[in-house]
Amino acid sequence: MQFQAPRGTFDVLPEDQKYWRLVTSTAEEVASRAGFRRLDTPVFEDSALFERGVGSTTDIIEKETYSFEDRGGDMLTLRAEGTAPACRAYLQHGMRNLPQPVRLYYLCPVFRYERPQSGRYRQHNQFGVEIIGESDASVDADVIEAGWRYLETVGLSDLTLYVNSIGDRACRPEYMRELRSYYEGHSERLCADCQRRLDRNALRLLDCKNDQCQPLIDEAPASFDHLCDECEAHWDRLRKYLGIIGLDFQTEHRLVRGLDYYTRTVFEIAPQLEGRTVTIVGGGRYDGLIEELGGPPTPGVGFGMGLERVIYNIKREEVPVSEPSPTKVVVVHLGNAGKSAGLKLSSGLRRSGIAATLAPPRGMRSQMRYAANSGATHAVIIGDNELEKGVATVRDLGRSEQAEIALNYIADHLSKQDGN
């Protein structure tokens, strides 16, 4: 074996396309039903966009980015996430002059240089939505609802929604001090990773998976107990609205996110798996991001969802997914005259809107086998016998019945068969 798909990438083979069609077309459907309009942004952007947006000290920027200098000397980065590009587009196209808020969704590949493992790739595909230009908690609930409804209509059932509020610029510094002083009192009991996290990124202490840290995390101060008045009001309303919509959720003080731009609401949706949880959807509010990118102060909320992980769970839950309709007709031909006639016939059938292929030029037995294995419902047989009479033999492969049909009426005849 010579070439392989690069590490962390994969081919979507024909037999898997049904999952992608499902996942992708219901995203379009659910998003547009909820008033989101599609936005496509380039696969690469100015590197600085992600540095400013996601945060330059964040892991995804520090070590997971696919960056390169182009021939003109510009530093570019393959899309590392969807929110910063969406905000860039919002600013670039003056979308603040549209009726606010602006509701956008996207479906696109995302690139991160990580060590692949199950449910994690270097190129993966995200479905995401953003509501930009409204700070009320009702749109937070709206975004969360869109994510939840999507997973539901795609057919997933054993999922849990986790929500948290990590405050904003006003109250988070105070909370961080609180958290740090709590942990400093117990620093000897922390795992090695958490020792480092303590001064680098204290929030991350909360989602450590190491067993020895769990008791400490359980007792740690929760961000939602240290919110300023405005954040607290927002947090209360969010939970109230989720209740009104009828979404069950679990408040989770360990839930923090790895991108710097989040404020107030953060949430995730994950399946209930034994052991670790693999998040399918992650998102939250980013009220400071657009300003950070050079725009006017503008609030926003959104989520990103990993479609590979959605498909992984569709397979795991054995959600039935319908096959795309197979080739309907295979034209079986005998002799040189038959081959020419068959070629013409299959072309004509296609022009009449019937899926038809010409069997490969082999023995009849083999051609029939080919027809059966290809999933065709009918074989159309054409050889010298038929040509003399100006007909073709149309065989129903399911019923094992056949009849001679005039060449001119074959398309007509086939389109009346069931399955068309």
Partner RNA sequence: GUGAGCGUGGCCAAGUGGUAAGGCGCCAGGUUGUGGCCCUGGAGAUCGAGGGUUCAAAUCCCUUCGCUCACCCCA
Q: For 117, which DSSP code? A: B
Least gap, CB of 415 to RNA (angstroms): 20
Least gap, CB of 355 to RNA (angstroms): 16
User: Per rule CB under 7 A, is residue 2 in the interface with RNA?
Assistant: no
8 Å CB contact between 163 and 185: no
Residues of span 162-201 touching RNA by CB under 7 A = 193, 197, 201
Q: Which stretch binds RNA (CB under 7 A): 168-176, 178-186, 205-213, 221-229?
A: 205-213
CB nearer RNA, residue 58 or residue 135: 58
Residues of span 295-314 touching RNA by CB under 7 A = 304-306, 308-309
Own/partner long-range contacts of 236-242 (Cβ < 8 Å, ≥24 apart): 237/136, 237/137, 237/138, 238/137, 238/140, 238/141, 238/163, 238/165, 238/265, 239/163, 241/137, 241/138, 241/140, 241/141, 242/141, 242/144, 242/161, 242/163
SS (H, E, C) 371-418: HHHCCCCEEEEECHHHHHHCEEEEEECCCCEEEEEEHHHHHHHHHCCC
Q: What does the alpha-carbon distance between residue 111 and residue 306 come to, in Å, rounded to a whole number?
A: 12
User: Per rule CB under 7 A, is residue 59 in the interface with RNA?
Assistant: yes
| Residue choice 190, 220, 331, 379 for contact with RNA (CB under 7 A) | 379
Task: Rounding to the nearest 10 degrees, give the CA dihedral for residues 336, 337, 343, 345.
Answer: -150
8 Å CB contact between 255 and 266: yes
User: Per rule CB under 7 A, is residue 272 in the interface with RNA?
Assistant: no
SS (H, E, C) 171-226: CHHHHHHHHHHHHHCCHHHCCHHHHHHHHHCHHHHHHCCCHHHHHHHHHCCCHHHC
Least gap, CB of 205 to RNA (angstroms): 9
* Binding letters toward RNA, positions 61-100, x by CB under 7 A: ---x----------------x-------------------
8 Å CB contact between 42 and 31: no
User: Per rule CB under 7 A, is residue 395 in the interface with RNA?
Assistant: yes
User: Per rule CB under 7 A, is residue 400 in the interface with RNA?
Assistant: yes
Q: Is 200 exposed, middle or buried (0-12, 13-18, 19+ CB in 10 A)?
A: exposed
CB nearer RNA, residue 100 or residue 385: 385
User: Per rule CB under 7 A, is residue 397 in the interface with RNA?
Assistant: yes
Least gap, CB of 305 to RNA (angstroms): 6
| Residue choice 166, 242, 281, 341 for contact with RNA (CB under 7 A) | 281
CB nearer RNA, residue 4 or residue 322: 4
User: Per rule CB under 7 A, is residue 368 in the interface with RNA?
Assistant: yes
Least gap, CB of 135 to RNA (angstroms): 21
Closest CA to 302 of 79, 104, 112, 100: 104
8 Å CB contact between 267 and 151: no
User: Per rule CB under 7 A, is residue 117 in the interface with RNA?
Assistant: yes
| Residue choice 108, 228, 278, 355 for contact with RNA (CB under 7 A) | 278
User: Per rule CB under 7 A, is residue 109 in the interface with RNA?
Assistant: no
Q: Identity (one letter) of the amino acid at 52?
A: R
User: Per rule CB under 7 A, is residue 121 in the interface with RNA?
Assistant: yes
Least gap, CB of 381 to RNA (angstroms): 4
Residues in contact with RNA by CB under 7 A are 1, 4, 6-7, 58-60, 64, 81, 112, 114-122, 124, 126, 193, 197, 201, 204, 207-210, 257-259, 268, 276, 278-282, 304-306, 308-309, 334, 362-366, 368-373, 379, 381-386, 393, 395, 397-398, 400, 402
